[in-house]
Chains A and B, each alone.
Chain A
Amino acid sequence: MKDQKELAMELEDEIFNDGLPKAYYKHNENGQYVLETNAPWAEKVSCALIIAGNRANLEEIRKAVLAGQKSPLCYHMELRQLDPGMLAKAAGMAVFRVKRHLRPDVFTKLKPSVLNRYTKALRVTLEELKTVPNS
């Protein structure tokens, strides 16, 4: 239990010490509204939770792709924070086709012309689209 808590603390520190602090309005004792850059604790907690969730999700998909359960397209879609509907619009395709291409057996048989649409929509090279990073 303690390890998990420590990990969460480390993640909070990591993502909030990025050198790009945001500003927050604060009501000080003199009745003035001033800007300060300390992020509220609640924000740190929720941000850490969401980012940890997103990272875990991406990692899970990467492993599923390596195990042959999902197509690499699924990984790149998730990396770009898209869903099948948005990706379909970006690539100029029907949603059901995009969803079909998330299956690895269908994806391996795709023609280069279809793959090129995805490379343009996701801004990856053809090589990258067919693979996922190893670690």
Chain B
Amino acid sequence: MTTELAANGKPYVHHHGAHCETAVTSALFRYQGVDISEPMIFGIGSGIFFGYLPFIKLVHLPVTAFRYKPGAVFHKAAKRLGGDFVIKTYRDPQKGMDELRQVLKTGQIVGLSTNLYWLPYVTERHRHNFNGHNIIVLREIEGGFRISDPTFGDPVDCSADGLDQARFVPGPLNPHGYMYYTKSVNPHPDLRGACIKGMKDSCSLMLRIPLPIFGVRGMRFLAKKIIKSPDKLGFQEACRHLAGTVRWVEETGTGGAGFRYMYAAFFHEAAGLFSSDELADLSKEMTAIGDNWREFSLTAARIIKQKDKAEETFAKAGGLILKCADREEAFFRKLQKVARQLKA
């Protein structure tokens, strides 16, 4: 936690967060005086999801998404909490940068979508060609901008050229200078109503999409693929695919175990808000599911390291995901019932 000053001298507190989008949204609300934590935003914005997209490849590996599509969490949370945001995209990079400078001069802090590959301060392990990394610009400094990137511990400096490059990338992964800042925020948002909406939405996302690659069905699909992978791809390549999956579970800003721990934290807070024991139980259950996902990644890592070859097999790793799928199905069916009984 560090305190920085925005352009008009108003203090801004930088919190270290797990995920870029939820942390940025919560920081924007906090800056306006609405104290709301990152897991809360994640739950209200219905962030939890699962999708296995074998036809989209990043650096030759298929995408496994554990959250809903980039941008959606922010939109949903803002709508449900009654925040009014100005959202803009640009074709012309020059115009985009000029407007950013103008908005910063009025004392606003501005959220931006950038391409992670081109941000100058990230290191090799964070360098994905991913166009939905959210950051906050605090103020203009000499030759650049002061940036609060909540996925990292401290605010950083970024050169103007570097930010320009990251906001406008040629090709299909162009964020088009996507920029958002607050117009007005409801100082006393209806947290309980928003929580219920978020829970119900999450249930239908996880259970009711009639495609085999999303929700709990998607988990079973991925599990079957993993079990078959050593025969189909060969051991080395199968290991690479497995490592790719683990990277999606643990690394890409998920807060551990594919957002499951963060979602459990949301239920922990919601249980306090509604003073409901059922929600507290659900929080414990979600933590257990998260432990299950963590066990999957441990098994995967042991396969990669070739420890206990007889015990740690692809079949075991796939079986763990199947177990996760069953437990999550039961979890969201229970949540449907619980959410119906909650009163806003």
Interface residues of A (CB under 8 A from B): 15-16, 18-27, 31-33, 35, 37, 39-43, 45-47, 49-51, 53-54, 80-83, 86-87, 89-91, 120-121, 123
- Does B247 make an interface contact (CB < 8 A)? yes
**CB contact under 8 A between A27 and B300, given known A22-B251, A87-B171:** no
- Choose among A15, A23, A49, A120 the residue with the greatest number of B CB atoms under 10 Å from its CB: A23
Interface residues of B in 277-327 (CB under 8 A from A): 287, 294, 297-298, 300-301, 304-305
Q: Which residues of A contact B250 (CB under 8 A)?
A: 39-40, 42-43, 46
Q: Are A45 and B243 in contact (CB under 8 A)?
A: yes
25 sample A-B contacts, Cβ–Cβ < 8 Å, listed by A number: A15-B125, A18-B125, A20-B123, A20-B126, A20-B152, A21-B152, A24-B255, A24-B261, A25-B18, A25-B261, A27-B261, A27-B264, A35-B16, A35-B255, A42-B297, A42-B300, A45-B301, A45-B305, A46-B300, A47-B125, A49-B239, A50-B244, A50-B247, A90-B172, A121-B171
With A and B bound together, what is the CA distance between A81 and B131 in angstroms? 12
**CB contact under 8 A between A40 and B294, given known A23-B16, A23-B17, A26-B256:** yes
Q: Are B129 and A80 in contact (CB under 8 A)?
A: yes
Interface residues of B (CB under 8 A from A): 16-18, 39, 57-61, 117, 121-129, 151-153, 165, 170-173, 239-240, 242-244, 246-247, 250-251, 253, 255-256, 261-262, 264-265, 268, 287, 294, 297-298, 300-301, 304-305
Q: Which residues of B contact A22 (CB under 8 A)?
A: 18, 151-152, 251, 253
With A and B bound together, what is the CA distance between A110 and B27 in angstroms? 50
Q: Are B170 and A90 in contact (CB under 8 A)?
A: yes
Q: Which residues of A contact B239 (CB under 8 A)?
A: 49
Q: Which residues of B contact A35 (CB under 8 A)?
A: 16-18, 255
Q: Are A54 and B59 in contact (CB under 8 A)?
A: yes
Q: In the complex, which of the residues B153, B173, B255 contacts A86, with contact meaning CB atoms closer than 8 Å? A: B173
- Choose among A21, A22, A81 the residue with the greatest number of B CB atoms under 10 Å from its CB: A22
Q: In the complex, which of the residues B61, B152, B240, B251 contacts A47, with contact meaning CB atoms closer than 8 Å? A: B251
Q: Are B265 and A80 in contact (CB under 8 A)?
A: no
Q: Are A81 and B117 in contact (CB under 8 A)?
A: yes
Q: Which residues of B contact A51 (CB under 8 A)?
A: 124-125
Q: Which residues of A contact B287 (CB under 8 A)?
A: 27
Q: Which residues of B contact A46 (CB under 8 A)?
A: 242-244, 246-247, 250-251, 297, 300-301, 304
Q: Which residues of B contact A27 (CB under 8 A)?
A: 261, 264, 287
- A-B contact sample (18 more), CB < 8 A, given A22-B18, A46-B250, A90-B170: A18-B124, A20-B152, A20-B153, A21-B153, A23-B16, A25-B261, A25-B262, A25-B264, A33-B261, A35-B16, A40-B256, A42-B300, A46-B301, A47-B247, A51-B124, A81-B59, A81-B127, A83-B60
Number of A-B residue pairs with CB-CB distance less than 8 Å in the complex they form:
138
With A and B bound together, what is the CA distance between A41 and B250 in angstroms? 10
Q: Which residues of A contact B57 (CB under 8 A)?
A: 83
- CB closest residue in chain B, given A17: B123
Q: Which residues of B contact A120 (CB under 8 A)?
A: 170
With A and B bound together, what is the CA distance between A80 and B127 in angstroms? 10
9 closest A-B pairs (Cβ-Cβ)? Answer: A90-B171, A46-B243, A33-B265, A42-B297, A25-B261, A42-B301, A18-B123, A43-B250, A81-B129
Q: Which residues of A contact B124 (CB under 8 A)?
A: 15, 18, 51
Q: Are A82 and B171 in contact (CB under 8 A)?
A: yes
Q: Are A80 and B268 in contact (CB under 8 A)?
A: no
With A and B bound together, what is the CA distance between A43 and B123 in angstroms? 16
With A and B bound together, what is the CA distance between A89 and B17 in angstroms? 34
Q: Which residues of A contact B121 (CB under 8 A)?
A: 20
Q: Which residues of A contact B16 (CB under 8 A)?
A: 23, 35, 37
Q: Which residues of A contact B301 (CB under 8 A)?
A: 41-42, 45-46
With A and B bound together, what is the CA distance between A45 and B122 in angstroms? 20
- CB closest residue in chain B, given A50: B243
With A and B bound together, what is the CA distance between A45 and B301 in angstroms? 6
Q: Are B304 and A49 in contact (CB under 8 A)?
A: yes
